[in-house]
Structures are given as structure tokens and as C-alpha cells.
Amino acid sequence: MAGELFEKKLLEFTRRGNIERVRWLENINKYILPSHVKRILRNDKTVLQELVLPKWVTWDLLYDWALTQKKEKGRLCVLCDEYSEVGIEYNNKFICEYCFLKLKNLK
């Protein structure tokens, strides 16, 4: 389930009284750009080098939080990296209708 680890850590820090960590987790969307969220969802760990994060923030926590930020409907196109509900499946990869039509017109 998305956000399970994130909620668990938030609850743990609240119980311990780590107010600074709780505030940071509650405002995490202010520290991480939407473009970084997309890269985190693609499991691109080079994002960790670009972000300034506290040492206690792990990749698993960051990835779990990013899963809660996913609001797009449909499936992710492998060519344009956008979400779409309409498209085709080719070799177990999803291609949106727009990219498929562009490829079809190239022939």
C-alpha cells in the first residue's frame, strides 16, 4: 500500500516527540519538486545527489512518499513519459495514442 512506510515514520516521530522531523515530513512537498517526484517514481536514485535531504531520510521513505503523490490516471508511456488512458501494449510496454500515431506516420 502506498504511503504505509511514510505514515509509519510520521507516527513514530510524533510519538517520540521529534517535532522538527514531523514538520519536515509534513512539508516534504515544499522541498521536492514535481520533476524530482517523477524521477523518484522511476526509481532513479541519482535524485538523492541533487536533493538536500536530512540524513535520516532513506530512499525507501522517499519512494513511499512519492507513491502517495502520484495523481495521474492511466498508464505511463515509455516514449513520452506521460500518463495516458488510451494507447497500445507493445512488447509489454505501454505506448500512448499520441506517440503511436507519430510513429505510425513516420513509415
Per-residue pLDDT tens digits for 53-74: 999 999 999 999 998 886 667 8
In the predicted model, is pLDDT for residue 75 greater than 80?
A: yes
Burial, 9: exposed, middle or buried (Cβ in 10 Å; 0-12, 13-18, 19+)? buried
Residue 14 sits at the vertex; the CA angle it makes with 9 and 15, to the nearest 5 degrees, is 100
Integer angstrom CA distances of residue 11 from 4, 5, 20, 64, 77? 11, 10, 13, 15, 35
2: closest CA among 45, 58, 65?
65
| Residue type at position 15 | R
pTM: 0.65
